[in-house]
């Protein structure tokens, strides 16, 4: 993949050039308040590199899942405001926002940029062409985006697994390069997939086994041990013949999970399941809850976290790992009574980072959790900005937003 420096050389420099940057600014919001600005902060280094070279930077991104038309609750205005604070921190930047993605107002705003200025376009998904299934509709929107710029930089790792207009089609129309964030993410994921230091431990959680079928199948041939928690663990417990009460369960995946357990045993890969779980009467923070053995769950209660014994055991099985990849919380961490398992895994990774191990938090809820618990980004080797993209990369899938850059 071409670097920004190579792109600059190809174009005879970037000063005065308009560069369209596809960032990932899909952050969680509480009203207009950003609750985790990790992705915004991660976008800044590439934007600043382009500014320093005199480029006129046009940032495009999506937020949430609007249905192809403007929806105020998904406006990028608060995200642009946070980006302005981060980029303008030195008092020298200039970040503006336009309430349009393509069209006359957007074109006028782009034309008014000076060297080193930054413009954030409104939510890409306010236009139906961004995610259109029709190649023609998607390409038409991509052409409108491409008409705004002289070059394209792909820096949104969280979307490279999608063949969308601003991710895939624009790269086919403009001289392009991979931004620093995408390049660093790929470097980390390649190390996890191809050359991990051992022991290599993978911690998987989250709600559904079906979301992680491919990565489980792939990692069974790479990892030394897999630690399973979150809602997906109940399908594993069911596959072992245990009662799981009213917990999340994907009955149609039980046989698949049985196959994974058998394959892991044949290959000598350790599957670590919780010895105990926290069960509750219902899914709420004030629900009555207790700790029970994982093989003795009441039929009328649901599991919402791994228990204290499981937390200790998981920490023990991570204590000698030289490489750790973690994707997915261990329980309903957003509710304090069920946050201890996720907090324990985060603490175990921090300890391994301090010991020199490679620790990677695989984006999504895991990244949100560690920040909610007060951990700094440098408490880990790497916090990915792309949960789904990181999983698909580790599966070995072809990611269209990366393959289009490889020329």
204 shares its domain with 223: yes
Q: Is 39 known to be catalytic?
A: yes
| 406 occurs within a structural domain | no
pLDDT band, residue 93 (cuts 50/70/90) = low
182-203 pLDDT per residue, tens: 999 999 999 999 999 999 999 9
107 shares its domain with 203: no
Q: What are phi and psi of 18, to 5 degrees?
A: -95, 120
If phi over 0 gives left and psi between -120 and 50 gives alpha, with beta otherwise, what is residue 64? Answer: left
Mean pLDDT estimate for the chain: 95
Q: What is the pLDDT of residue 92?
A: 55
Q: Name the residue among 64, 49, 228 with its Cα closest to residue 153.
A: 49
56 shares its domain with 119: yes
**Of 155, 179, 203, which one is at a domain's C-terminal end?**
179
**Domain residue limits at 386:** 189-395
Strand order in the sheet with 276-280: 289-293, 276-280, 302-306
217 shares its domain with 168: no
91 annotated as belonging to a binding site for a ligand: no
Does residue 118 have a cis bond before it (omega within 30 degrees)? no
318 annotated as belonging to a binding site for a ligand: no
Rg (alpha carbons) of the chain, rounded to whole number: 22
Q: Is 322 known to be catalytic?
A: no
pLDDT band, residue 90 (cuts 50/70/90) = low
Q: What is the pLDDT of residue 365?
A: 86
365: domain CATH number? 3.40.50.1260
354 shares its domain with 335: yes
Query: How far is the C-alpha of 257 from the C-alpha of 287, rounded, in Å?
Result: 30
193 shares its domain with 161: no
Q: What are phi and psi of 152, to 5 degrees?
A: -130, 135
Percentage, residues of the chain above pLDDT 90: 90
| 129 occurs within a structural domain | yes
**Of 152, 179, 206, which one is at a domain's C-terminal end?**
179
Paired tokens of 194: 């191809």
Structural domain tally of the chain? 2
200-204/323-327 β-pairing: parallel
Q: Please pick, among 208, 258, 322, 397, the residue that the annotation labels catalytic.
A: 208
Per-residue pLDDT at 232 exceeds 90:
yes
316 shares its domain with 289: yes
Q: Is 112 known to be catalytic?
A: no
| 402 occurs within a structural domain | no
205 annotated as belonging to a binding site for a ligand: no
pLDDT band, residue 214 (cuts 50/70/90) = confident
206 annotated as belonging to a binding site for a ligand: no
Q: Name the residue among 218, 129, 130, 173 with its Cα closest to residue 20.
A: 173
Q: Is 208 known to be catalytic?
A: yes
pLDDT band, residue 213 (cuts 50/70/90) = confident
252 shares its domain with 373: yes
pTM, whole model, 2 decimals?
0.91
**Of 121, 154, 179, which one is at a domain's C-terminal end?**
179
């Amino acid at each position: 993949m071409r670097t920004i420096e190579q792109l600059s050389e190809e174009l005879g420099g970037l000063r005065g050039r308009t560069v369209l940057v596809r960032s990932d600014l899909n952050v969680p919001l509480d009203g207009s308040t950003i609750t985790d600005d990790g992705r915004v902060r991660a976008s800044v280094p590439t934007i600043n590199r382009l500014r320093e070279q005199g480029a006129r930077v046009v940032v495009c991104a999506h937020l949430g899942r609007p249905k192809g038309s403007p929806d105020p609750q998904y406006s990028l205005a608060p995200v642009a405001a946070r980006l302005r604070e981060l980029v303008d921190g030195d008092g020298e930047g200039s970040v503006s926002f336009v309430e349009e993605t393509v069209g006359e107002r957007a074109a006028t705003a782009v034309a008014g940029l000076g060297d080193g200025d930054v413009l954030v376009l409104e939510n890409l998904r306010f236009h139906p062409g961004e995610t259109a299934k029709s190649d023609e509709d998607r390409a038409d929107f991509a052409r409108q985006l491409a008409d705004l710029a002289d070059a394209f930089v792909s820096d949104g790792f969280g979307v490279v697994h999608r063949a969308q207009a601003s991710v895939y089609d624009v790269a086919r129309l403009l001289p392009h390069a991979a931004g620093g964030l995408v390049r660093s993410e790929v470097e980390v994921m390649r190390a996890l997939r191809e050359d991990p230091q051992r022991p290599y431990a993978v911690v998987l959680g989250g709600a559904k086994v079906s979301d992680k079928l491919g990565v489980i199948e792939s990692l069974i041939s790479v990892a030394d041990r897999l630690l399973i928690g979150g809602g997906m663990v109940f399908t594993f417990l069911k596959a072992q013949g245990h009662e799981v009460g009213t917990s999340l369960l994907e009955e149609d995946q039980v046989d698949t999970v049985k196959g994974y357990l058998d394959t892991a045993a044949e290959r000598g890969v350790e599957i670590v399941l919780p010895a105990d779980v926290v069960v509750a009467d219902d899914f709420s923070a004030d629900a009555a809850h207790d700790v029970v053995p994982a093989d003795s769950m009441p039929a009328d209660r649901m599991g919402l976290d791994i228990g204290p014994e499981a937390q200790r055991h998981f920490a023990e099985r991570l204590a000698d790992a030289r490489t750790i990849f973690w994707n997915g919380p261990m329980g309903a961490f957003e509710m304090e009574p069920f946050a201890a398992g996720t907090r324990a895994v985060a603490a175990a990774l921090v300890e391994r980072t301090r010991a020199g191990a490679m620790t990677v938090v695989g984006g999504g809820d895991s990244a949100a959790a560690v920040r909610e618990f007060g951990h700094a980004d440098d408490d880990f080797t790497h916090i990915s900005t792309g949960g789904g993209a990181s999983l698909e990369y580790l599966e070995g899938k072809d990611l269209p937003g990366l393959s289009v850059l490889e020329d």
